[in-house]
Amino acid sequence: TPEGFQKLADELKYLKNERRGEVAQSIHDAKMDGDVSENAGYEEAKRQQAILEGRIMTLEGMLKNAVLI
């Protein structure tokens, strides 16, 4: 539906324009804490980044292939 399409488009816009920057800042802050090999904050931030990028790719694929009825 057009409403469903718009909801997905809005989520994608939020993830790309806002959430991505927040995650990048978390990674940067964690790097500033020192050795990343033993830094749980860094590992968590990288995990969040992977989840975020996966969701962005999923949404982009869904929107690209969507057919409005």
In this predicted model, what pLDDT tens digit does every residue of 12-40 receive, in sequence order? 999 999 999 999 999 998 888 777 777 78
Tell me the pTM.
0.84
Residue with more model confidence, 37 or 10? 10
| CA 42 from centre of chain | 16
Q: Is residue 50 pLDDT above 90, yes or no?
A: yes
Q: pLDDT at position 47, please?
A: 95
Task: Give the count of beta carbons closer than 10 Å to the beta carbon of residue 44.
Answer: 13
Backbone angles phi, psi at 2, to 5 degrees: -60, -35
pLDDT-based confidence at residue 59 (cuts at 50, 70, 90): very high
Q: Is the dihedral of CA 5, 7, 10, 12 positive or negative?
A: negative
Q: What angle do CA 60, 48, 65 make, to 5 degrees?
A: 10
Q: What is the mean pLDDT of the chain?
A: 91
